[in-house]
């Protein structure tokens, strides 16, 4: 299959990305390069200098909302992608309206309780919509500990499932990028198997 | 009873057991997790009132901070 055919297929789909930090920004960029048609981003935070050790932003974007900056960066990489940016904090009640119509949702939060809330909400309020979770990426080395696991048709996890990030064990570009790109790879795999019904509204 | 836990066969001496009993028996102490029983996500408020039976398929996923 030629890349032009792959790109034309991926252009039909919409992917939600919950969080635009290390996982979300890198995953979104990978999906934009592949040609996934519509990306729905959600994040409430602004870029801080400390984020630049792993997140897909630039020094002159410090202080901007991550959603705004990521939309700009994606437009510079692939202007054909439609980016819908929501600058707000996700909770049990707004997740459905923000990600309604998404073919896949990527869990790209930092905090474990936010990860839990997003997974529970999508699995219960958006049944059938696959969630691709990132779990375990702190530190460096141990590349082979990072893996991909399909739990069922609606739940996938990427990461080492064992390292917890903290001040003494920070998330850094290489392993965060590995997990983010593994999530993007999982999304592409799911979408390449899917057919899009053009008459679906 | 025999169940599948993360695609591995596990045996318990009684049936049924609640999700919390299973977690204690297996000494799974890490708190941030997602549990699915036969494909259905079980919220943690229901770990005492949801029971696992012979042949059930239980999947567990640990959630680690960092992103």
* Residue A166 DSSP label: B
Residue B31 resides in a domain: yes
Residue B52 resides in a domain: yes
Number of domains in chain B: 1
CB-nearest to A151 from B32, B59, B65 is B59
**For residue A13, what pLDDT is reported?**
98
Contacts of B64 in chain A (CB under 8 A): 112, 135-138, 159-165
Distance (Å, rounded) from C-alpha B63 to C-alpha A136?
A: 7
CATH number at residue B34: 3.10.20.30
Residue B42 resides in a domain: yes
Residue B48 resides in a domain: yes
Which chain B residue lies closest to A115 (C-alpha atoms)?
Answer: B63
Q: Which domain holds residue B52?
A: 2-62
Contacts of A28 in chain B (CB under 8 A): none
Q: Which domains does chain A show, CATH number per domain?
A: 3-193 (3.40.50.720)
Residue B67 resides in a domain: no
- The pLDDT tens digits along chain B (67 residues) read 999 999 999 999 999 999 999 999 999 989 899 999 999 999 999 999 999 999 999 999 999 999 9
Contacts of A123 in chain B (CB under 8 A): 41
Closest Cα of chain A to B41: distance in Å? 7
Order the strands of the B2-5 sheet from edge to edge: B8-11, B2-5, B57-62, B33-37, B40-41
Low-confidence ranges of chain A (pLDDT < 70): 197-201
Instruction: For tokens 């819908």, name the residue.
Output: A84
Residue B50 resides in a domain: yes
Whether the bond between A180 and the residue before it is cis, its omega within 30 degrees of 0, is no
Distance (Å, rounded) from C-alpha A169 to C-alpha A183?
A: 22
Residue B9 resides in a domain: yes
**For residue A200, what pLDDT is reported?**
53
Alpha helices in chain A (DSSP H): 3-10, 22-34, 66-77, 95-99, 112-125, 173-193
What confidence tens digit (pLDDT) does each residue in B45-55 have?
999 999 999 99
The DSSP bridge pattern shows strands A38-42 and A14-18 to be parallel
**For residue A198, what pLDDT is reported?**
61
Residue B35 resides in a domain: yes
CB contact under 8 A, A152 and B36: yes
């Amino acid at each position: 299959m030629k890349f032009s055919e792959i790109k034309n297929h991926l252009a039909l789909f919409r992917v939600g990305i919950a969080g635009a930090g290390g996982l979300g920004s890198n995953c979104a960029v990978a999906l934009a390069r592949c040609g996934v048609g519509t990306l729905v981003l959600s994040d409430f935070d602004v870029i801080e200098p400390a984020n630049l050790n792993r997140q897909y932003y630039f020094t002159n974007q410090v202080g901007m909302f991550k959603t705004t900056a990521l939309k700009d960066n994606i437009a510079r990489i692939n202007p054909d992608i439609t980016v819908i940016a929501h600058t707000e904090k996700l909770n049990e009640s707004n997740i459905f309206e923000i990600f309604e119509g998404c073919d896949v949702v990527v869990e790209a939060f930092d905090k474990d309780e936010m990860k839990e809330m997003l997974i529970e909400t999508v699995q219960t309020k958006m049944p059938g919509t696959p969630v691709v979770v990132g779990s375990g990426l702190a530190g460096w080395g141990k590349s082979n500990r990072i893996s991909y696991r399909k739990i069922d048709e609606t739940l996938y996890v990427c990461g080492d499932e064992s390292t917890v990030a903290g001040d003494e064990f920070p998330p850094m570009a290489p392993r965060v990028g590995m997990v983010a790109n593994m999530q993007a790879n999982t999304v592409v795999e799911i979408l390449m198997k899917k057919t899009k019904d053009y008459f679906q509204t | 009873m025999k169940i599948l836990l993360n695609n591995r066969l596990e045996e318990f001496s009684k049936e049924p057991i609640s999700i919390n009993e299973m977690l204690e028996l297996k000494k799974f102490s890490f708190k941030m997790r997602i549990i699915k029983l036969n494909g259905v996500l079980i919220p943690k408020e229901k770990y005492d009132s949801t029971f696992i039976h012979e042949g059930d398929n239980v999947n567990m996923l640990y959630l680690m901070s960092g992103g």
